[in-house]
């Protein structure tokens, strides 16, 4: 599918959904040999009856490989002479694009804000990509990548505001529909909105009655604000949330269209930093799944009772979107919760 350049016409979503669902199905075939088919697992130990989809089991540790491989493979097909790719990332998308580029023999540059999670920076470098960080902040990262892209002629693989990326992420929705025939509620983290938009497109095209709910930190609640106001809201200042994958200043224009203008995401709820931390420790110790802060917000919302349960006789599934935890944060959280864990209790 080519990038949309014209605004949506009218409230009827059926053609829009049909076209995007076809592109998501095509993405699923294209990326199949490059990403893992993750399972859907019960989370009964902490949330009886709830299912989780552990995307932290993907190569590079997050769902981002889905969009990155879809975009890179389509680029190679449509523009075979492309010298390489460039992107901007807090880390997970950068790793995913670096892996896709290496697999396809393309050069790769990743613009990462100064102070990015050092584990993620090291991983991007280890995959052979060039990292550009000098003077890059959460607030200026978009401008910096566009300037660099124009200077170098590299092809931009946007982390969330490009249909190829969104369609790749939407393959998670397809897999959930396959694995959970009685799915009633799908919960996904929201940063730039690519993940939740892709999943909403996949799910609403096939099963419009399934609720799709996004979750973001209270400290980066631009999508919730946009849903409330109907305007494309932007954070006033860079967010300090521990969920480093959810710090984007606003959702992309495509995400805004899907989430707000077309109303394909039923709700966006927020969680506190403490709720995210508690959910992480619960997932590590009780589900044995190493989830990172951005990947834990859905669990956090469920554990804190911030999401209404799925309709009767249907199932709820939460996407655990990534597992690249900063070791310093992991050590701090385990130390804080050590006392309750030693006595066999759940984290407070």
Ligand X SMILES: Cc1ncc(COP(=O)(O)O)c(C=O)c1O
- List of residues contacting ligand X (CB under 6 A): 62, 90, 92-93, 159-160, 189-195, 245-246, 248, 292, 294-295, 321-322
CB of 106 to ligand X, least distance (A): 21
CB of 318 to ligand X, least distance (A): 12
Structure token pair of residue 238: 């860079």
Residues, the chain: 348
Q: Where are the beta strands (DSSP E) in the chain?
A: 41-42, 51-54, 84-88, 107-111, 130-132, 155-156, 183-189, 211-217, 267-271, 315-320
Q: Which conformational region is residue 290 in: left (phi greater than 0), alpha (psi within -120 to 50 degrees), or beta?
A: beta
CB of 112 to ligand X, least distance (A): 11
How far the first Cα of the chain sits from its last, in Å, is 47
Sole residue written with tokens 């959970």: 180
From the candidates 53, 64, 120, 204, give the one annotated as an active-site residue.
64
Q: Collapsing DSSP states into helix, strand and coil, what is residue 211?
A: strand
* Closer residue to ligand X, CB minimum distance, 175 or 292: 292
* Closer residue to ligand X, CB minimum distance, 101 or 166: 166
Q: Is 204 a catalytic residue?
A: no
The H-assigned helical ranges of 207-296 are 222-229, 253-256, 273-282
CB of 55 to ligand X, least distance (A): 8
* Closer residue to ligand X, CB minimum distance, 129 or 195: 195
CB of 343 to ligand X, least distance (A): 31
From the candidates 62, 90, 197, 250, give the one annotated as an active-site residue.
90
Q: How many Å apart are CA 136 and CA 144, to the nearest integer?
A: 7
Q: Is 103 a catalytic residue?
A: no
* Closer residue to ligand X, CB minimum distance, 277 or 292: 292
* Closer residue to ligand X, CB minimum distance, 54 or 192: 192
> Smallest Cα–Cα separation from 66: which of 91, 89, 32?
32
Q: Which residues carry out catalysis?
A: 64, 90
């Amino acid at each position: 599918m080519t990038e949309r350049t014209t605004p949506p016409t009218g409230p009827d979503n059926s053609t829009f959904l049909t076209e995007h669902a076809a592109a998501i199905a095509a993405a699923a075939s294209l990326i199949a040999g490059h990403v893992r088919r993750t399972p859907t697992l019960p989370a009964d130990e902490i949330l009886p009856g709830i299912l989780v989809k552990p995307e932290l089991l993907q190569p590079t540790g997050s769902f981002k490989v889905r969009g990155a491989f879809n975009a890179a493979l389509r680029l190679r097909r449509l523009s075979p002479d492309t010298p390489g790719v460039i992107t901007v990332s807090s880390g997970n998308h950068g790793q995913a694009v670096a892996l896709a580029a290496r697999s396809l023999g393309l050069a790769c540059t990743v613009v990462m804000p100064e102070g990015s999670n050092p584990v993620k920076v090291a991983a991007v470098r280890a995959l052979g990509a060039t990292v550009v960080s000098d003077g890059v902040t959460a607030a200026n990262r978009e401008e910096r990548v566009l300037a660099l892209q124009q200077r170098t002629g590299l092809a931009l693989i946007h982390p969330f505001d490009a249909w190829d990326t969104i369609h790749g992420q939407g393959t998670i929705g397809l897999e959930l529909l396959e694995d959970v025939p009685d799915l009633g509620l799908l919960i996904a983290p929201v940063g730039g909105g690519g993940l939740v938009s892709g999943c909403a497109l996949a799910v609403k095209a096939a099963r419009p009655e399934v609720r799709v709910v996004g979750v973001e930190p209270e400290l980066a609640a631009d999508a919730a604000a946009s849903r409330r106001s109907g305007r494309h809201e932007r954070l006033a200042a860079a967010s300090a949330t521990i969920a480093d994958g959810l710090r984007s200043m606003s959702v992309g224009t495509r995400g805004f269209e899907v989430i707000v203008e077309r109303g394909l995401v039923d709700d966006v709820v927020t969680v506190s930093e403490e709720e995210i931390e508690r959910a992480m420790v619960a997932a590590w110790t009780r589900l044995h799944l190493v989830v990172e802060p951005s990947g834990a917000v859905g669990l956090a919302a469920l554990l804190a009772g911030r999401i209404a349960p799925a309709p009767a006789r249907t199932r709820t599934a939460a996407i655990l979107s990534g597992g690249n935890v900063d070791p310093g944060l992991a050590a701090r959280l385990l130390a804080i919760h050590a006392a309750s864990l030693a006595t066999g209790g759940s984290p407070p």
